[in-house]
Amino acid sequence: MRPYNFYAVFDISALLILIALIFFRKSGINDNIIKRHINANFKKNFKEFFRKKERTISYFINGVSTSWWILIYLFVPLYMVEYGFSEKHLGLFFFCVGIPLILCEYYFSKLAGKNGFKKMFRIGFLFVAVTAFLAFFAPNIYISLLLIIIASFGMAMIEPIAQAYFLSITNNSEMSRFYGPFSTSRDIFELLAKIIPSLALIIFPFKFVFIFFGIIMLVMFFVVSRMGSV
Protein backbone atom coordinates (compact mmCIF):
# COMPACT_ATOMS: atom_id res chain seq x y z
CA MET A 1 0.00 0.00 0.00
CA ARG A 2 1.27 3.44 -0.88
CA PRO A 3 1.87 5.86 2.03
CA TYR A 4 -0.12 8.52 0.16
CA ASN A 5 -3.02 8.78 -2.27
CA PHE A 6 -4.47 11.38 -4.58
CA TYR A 7 -7.76 11.56 -2.67
CA ALA A 8 -5.92 13.01 0.33
CA VAL A 9 -4.59 15.82 -1.88
CA PHE A 10 -8.13 16.85 -2.83
CA ASP A 11 -9.28 16.62 0.78
CA ILE A 12 -6.44 18.86 1.98
CA SER A 13 -7.06 21.32 -0.85
CA ALA A 14 -10.74 21.56 -0.01
CA LEU A 15 -9.91 22.11 3.67
CA LEU A 16 -7.50 24.94 2.82
CA ILE A 17 -10.10 26.61 0.59
CA LEU A 18 -12.64 26.37 3.42
CA ILE A 19 -10.16 27.95 5.86
CA ALA A 20 -9.48 30.76 3.35
CA LEU A 21 -13.22 31.37 2.99
CA ILE A 22 -13.65 31.60 6.77
CA PHE A 23 -10.78 34.09 7.04
CA PHE A 24 -12.24 36.14 4.19
CA ARG A 25 -15.70 36.27 5.77
CA LYS A 26 -14.22 37.37 9.10
CA SER A 27 -11.88 39.96 7.54
CA GLY A 28 -14.64 42.53 7.09
CA ILE A 29 -13.60 43.32 3.52
CA ASN A 30 -16.35 45.21 1.77
CA ASP A 31 -16.24 46.48 -1.80
CA ASN A 32 -18.37 49.58 -2.05
CA ILE A 33 -17.01 50.65 -5.43
CA ILE A 34 -19.61 49.26 -7.81
CA LYS A 35 -20.21 50.78 -11.22
CA ARG A 36 -23.62 49.65 -12.40
CA HIS A 37 -23.60 51.21 -15.87
CA ILE A 38 -20.78 50.11 -18.11
CA ASN A 39 -20.28 49.61 -21.83
CA ALA A 40 -21.19 45.95 -22.27
CA ASN A 41 -20.25 45.80 -25.96
CA PHE A 42 -17.36 43.35 -25.68
CA LYS A 43 -16.41 43.54 -29.37
CA LYS A 44 -16.13 47.33 -29.24
CA ASN A 45 -14.24 47.26 -25.93
CA PHE A 46 -11.85 44.64 -27.30
CA LYS A 47 -11.02 46.78 -30.35
CA GLU A 48 -10.56 49.93 -28.31
CA PHE A 49 -8.38 48.08 -25.83
CA PHE A 50 -5.64 47.65 -28.42
CA ARG A 51 -5.69 51.27 -29.58
CA LYS A 52 -3.30 52.17 -26.78
CA LYS A 53 0.24 50.76 -27.01
CA GLU A 54 0.63 50.38 -23.25
CA ARG A 55 -2.53 48.28 -22.97
CA THR A 56 -1.42 46.08 -25.86
CA ILE A 57 1.95 45.48 -24.20
CA SER A 58 0.23 44.67 -20.89
CA TYR A 59 -1.93 42.11 -22.76
CA PHE A 60 1.14 40.33 -24.12
CA ILE A 61 2.97 40.48 -20.79
CA ASN A 62 0.10 38.87 -18.94
CA GLY A 63 -0.52 36.26 -21.63
CA VAL A 64 3.09 35.21 -22.17
CA SER A 65 3.86 35.07 -18.45
CA THR A 66 0.93 32.72 -17.80
CA SER A 67 1.77 30.58 -20.84
CA TRP A 68 5.11 29.67 -19.22
CA TRP A 69 3.23 27.42 -16.80
CA ILE A 70 2.07 25.28 -19.73
CA LEU A 71 5.71 24.27 -20.08
CA ILE A 72 5.95 23.58 -16.35
CA TYR A 73 2.72 21.66 -15.79
CA LEU A 74 2.19 20.00 -19.18
CA PHE A 75 5.35 19.53 -21.25
CA VAL A 76 7.97 19.03 -18.55
CA PRO A 77 5.96 16.27 -16.79
CA LEU A 78 5.62 14.47 -20.13
CA TYR A 79 9.35 14.90 -20.66
CA MET A 80 10.07 13.45 -17.21
CA VAL A 81 7.71 10.50 -17.70
CA GLU A 82 9.46 9.74 -20.99
CA TYR A 83 12.70 9.39 -19.01
CA GLY A 84 11.09 7.12 -16.43
CA PHE A 85 10.62 9.55 -13.53
CA SER A 86 8.01 8.57 -10.94
CA GLU A 87 5.05 10.49 -9.53
CA LYS A 88 7.16 11.30 -6.48
CA HIS A 89 9.79 12.95 -8.67
CA LEU A 90 7.11 14.99 -10.44
CA GLY A 91 5.78 16.22 -7.11
CA LEU A 92 9.28 17.14 -5.98
CA PHE A 93 9.87 19.07 -9.20
CA PHE A 94 6.63 21.05 -8.79
CA PHE A 95 7.56 21.80 -5.20
CA CYS A 96 10.99 23.13 -6.20
CA VAL A 97 9.50 25.27 -8.99
CA GLY A 98 7.31 27.06 -6.46
CA ILE A 99 10.10 27.89 -3.98
CA PRO A 100 11.57 30.88 -5.89
CA LEU A 101 8.07 32.32 -6.30
CA ILE A 102 7.32 32.07 -2.59
CA LEU A 103 10.68 33.51 -1.57
CA CYS A 104 10.99 36.33 -4.10
CA GLU A 105 7.65 37.55 -5.44
CA TYR A 106 6.99 39.96 -2.57
CA TYR A 107 10.54 41.33 -2.69
CA PHE A 108 10.48 41.82 -6.47
CA SER A 109 7.07 43.49 -6.27
CA LYS A 110 8.48 46.06 -3.84
CA LEU A 111 11.53 46.46 -6.06
CA ALA A 112 9.30 47.18 -9.06
CA GLY A 113 7.58 49.91 -7.09
CA LYS A 114 10.98 51.46 -6.46
CA ASN A 115 12.74 50.93 -9.80
CA GLY A 116 9.78 50.76 -12.19
CA PHE A 117 7.98 48.02 -14.11
CA LYS A 118 10.09 48.23 -17.26
CA LYS A 119 13.36 47.27 -15.62
CA MET A 120 11.84 44.29 -13.81
CA PHE A 121 10.10 43.02 -16.94
CA ARG A 122 13.28 43.29 -19.01
CA ILE A 123 15.39 41.43 -16.45
CA GLY A 124 12.70 38.82 -15.84
CA PHE A 125 11.99 37.94 -19.47
CA LEU A 126 15.69 37.89 -20.40
CA PHE A 127 16.51 35.66 -17.41
CA VAL A 128 13.77 33.16 -18.31
CA ALA A 129 14.77 33.21 -22.00
CA VAL A 130 18.42 32.46 -21.23
CA THR A 131 17.60 29.61 -18.83
CA ALA A 132 15.18 28.08 -21.36
CA PHE A 133 17.87 28.12 -24.08
CA LEU A 134 20.40 26.63 -21.66
CA ALA A 135 17.90 23.89 -20.75
CA PHE A 136 17.74 22.96 -24.43
CA PHE A 137 21.53 22.66 -24.73
CA ALA A 138 21.98 20.96 -21.33
CA PRO A 139 23.79 17.59 -21.59
CA ASN A 140 21.20 15.70 -19.53
CA ILE A 141 17.65 15.98 -18.21
CA TYR A 142 18.75 16.68 -14.63
CA ILE A 143 20.51 19.89 -15.60
CA SER A 144 17.55 20.84 -17.82
CA LEU A 145 15.15 20.44 -14.88
CA LEU A 146 17.46 22.41 -12.59
CA LEU A 147 17.57 25.27 -15.10
CA ILE A 148 13.79 25.30 -15.42
CA ILE A 149 13.53 25.53 -11.64
CA ILE A 150 16.03 28.42 -11.65
CA ALA A 151 13.91 30.13 -14.33
CA SER A 152 11.22 30.59 -11.66
CA PHE A 153 13.33 33.42 -10.22
CA GLY A 154 12.72 35.27 -13.47
CA MET A 155 9.02 34.49 -13.36
CA ALA A 156 8.94 35.85 -9.80
CA MET A 157 9.95 39.20 -11.30
CA ILE A 158 7.21 39.15 -13.93
CA GLU A 159 4.13 37.37 -12.64
CA PRO A 160 3.26 39.44 -9.53
CA ILE A 161 3.48 42.76 -11.38
CA ALA A 162 1.88 41.82 -14.72
CA GLN A 163 -1.60 42.84 -13.62
CA ALA A 164 -0.23 45.66 -11.48
CA TYR A 165 1.20 47.23 -14.64
CA PHE A 166 -2.17 47.01 -16.39
CA LEU A 167 -3.87 48.66 -13.41
CA SER A 168 -1.24 51.41 -13.35
CA ILE A 169 -2.04 52.45 -16.94
CA THR A 170 -5.82 52.15 -16.58
CA ASN A 171 -7.96 54.74 -14.84
CA ASN A 172 -11.15 53.95 -12.90
CA SER A 173 -13.47 54.83 -15.77
CA GLU A 174 -11.64 52.41 -18.10
CA MET A 175 -11.28 49.55 -15.66
CA SER A 176 -14.77 48.10 -16.04
CA ARG A 177 -14.50 48.26 -19.83
CA PHE A 178 -11.05 46.85 -20.38
CA TYR A 179 -10.44 44.31 -17.63
CA GLY A 180 -12.57 41.75 -19.48
CA PRO A 181 -10.57 41.98 -22.74
CA PHE A 182 -7.34 42.05 -20.73
CA SER A 183 -8.29 38.82 -18.95
CA THR A 184 -8.65 36.94 -22.24
CA SER A 185 -4.86 37.09 -22.65
CA ARG A 186 -4.43 34.22 -20.22
CA ASP A 187 -6.74 31.82 -22.07
CA ILE A 188 -5.56 32.75 -25.57
CA PHE A 189 -1.86 32.45 -24.84
CA GLU A 190 -2.27 29.26 -22.83
CA LEU A 191 -4.13 27.72 -25.77
CA LEU A 192 -1.42 28.78 -28.22
CA ALA A 193 1.26 27.48 -25.85
CA LYS A 194 -0.40 24.08 -25.97
CA ILE A 195 -1.15 23.88 -29.69
CA ILE A 196 2.03 25.24 -31.33
CA PRO A 197 4.64 23.15 -29.43
CA SER A 198 2.42 20.07 -29.69
CA LEU A 199 2.29 20.37 -33.48
CA ALA A 200 6.01 21.08 -33.65
CA LEU A 201 6.79 17.93 -31.65
CA ILE A 202 5.43 15.87 -34.52
CA ILE A 203 8.61 16.84 -36.37
CA PHE A 204 11.12 18.03 -33.78
CA PRO A 205 12.53 16.26 -30.68
CA PHE A 206 10.94 16.90 -27.30
CA LYS A 207 13.54 19.41 -26.14
CA PHE A 208 12.30 21.77 -28.86
CA VAL A 209 9.72 23.09 -26.39
CA PHE A 210 12.54 24.76 -24.45
CA ILE A 211 13.61 26.61 -27.59
CA PHE A 212 10.01 27.61 -28.32
CA PHE A 213 9.44 29.14 -24.90
CA GLY A 214 12.92 30.67 -24.90
CA ILE A 215 12.18 32.46 -28.18
CA ILE A 216 8.84 33.73 -26.87
CA MET A 217 10.48 35.10 -23.73
CA LEU A 218 13.27 36.71 -25.76
CA VAL A 219 10.71 38.39 -28.03
CA MET A 220 8.98 39.74 -24.93
CA PHE A 221 12.29 41.15 -23.71
CA PHE A 222 12.42 43.32 -26.85
CA VAL A 223 8.71 44.17 -26.59
CA VAL A 224 8.95 45.46 -23.02
CA SER A 225 12.09 47.38 -23.97
CA ARG A 226 9.77 49.61 -26.02
CA MET A 227 7.71 50.50 -22.97
CA GLY A 228 7.78 54.02 -21.63
CA SER A 229 9.52 54.77 -18.36
CA VAL A 230 7.11 53.25 -15.83
Domain locations in the chain as residue ranges: 44-224
Listed in sequence order, the residues at least 6 apart from 131 whose beta carbon sits closer than 8 Å to its beta carbon are: 147, 148, 150, 151, 154
Q: Which of 4-8, 58-62, 200-204 has the lowest mean pLDDT?
A: 4-8
Name the percent of the chain lying above pLDDT 90. 64
Fold of 44-224: Growth Hormone; Chain: A; (1.20.1250)
Averaged pLDDT, 37-59: 82
The pLDDT confidence band at residue 36, using thresholds 50, 70 and 90, is low
* pLDDT reported for residue 38: 58
Look up the pTM and report it. Answer: 0.86
Listed in sequence order, the residues at least 6 apart from 134 whose beta carbon sits closer than 8 Å to its beta carbon are: 147
What string of DSSP letters covers 57-83? Answer: HHHHHHHHHHHHHHIIIIIHHHHHHHT
* pLDDT reported for residue 2: 54
* pLDDT reported for residue 40: 63
* pLDDT reported for residue 121: 95
The pLDDT confidence band at residue 39, using thresholds 50, 70 and 90, is low
pLDDT by residue (tens digit) across 126-167?
999 999 999 999 999 999 999 999 999 999 999 989 989 998
